[in-house]
Structure 1
């Protein structure tokens, strides 16, 4: 019978630990990935893409904007909406974070494989 005991495996914490050297948390990494692939999007749409409510997403973007990794501005087409976009600095940080993120995924796979007994 495989050994399934041990402390819980926390997905977010595993990625947070892997991404710490590049100064990102897992949710920030996911946000940068989405902005990189989607381009400029409203905060509401970005929140939907990441399964987060709009208010939380708006708060979540503030530190990324302070670091110059994203921009958040009023939409040119709808003054009620705010749009977010990744900056060149954000794209560079995302690129820097890809190897540690892959390492986090490898760590998770290895731990789950170990717990399955294979």
Structure 2
């Protein structure tokens, strides 16, 4: 009986140890969206970008949101974040820097990132 208890305990330890090594997605950037210009009123929340969310230079839509201002709250070293005023990433190209507010009276509609 003690052997079975010991075997069960060893099995539980091995399975819980393997769970610790599940690969996790890497955080790349966060940006906040606002429904009004000025990055103060109409907080629409934070968009967190992880490594599987994009390919370098890929145009990504904002899922129907059209914020009038964006604020890049953080970004990994070696990465750049660009916002666009159209959903094809061809108009209003603006490179965002952390800690600044970026307004668009036409609304932001897409974004892209590039990382070294």
Judge same fold: TM > 0.5, yes or no: no
Greater percentage in strand = 2
- TM-score using structure 2 length: 0.33
- Compare CA radii of gyration and give the structure with the larger one: 2
Higher helix share: 1
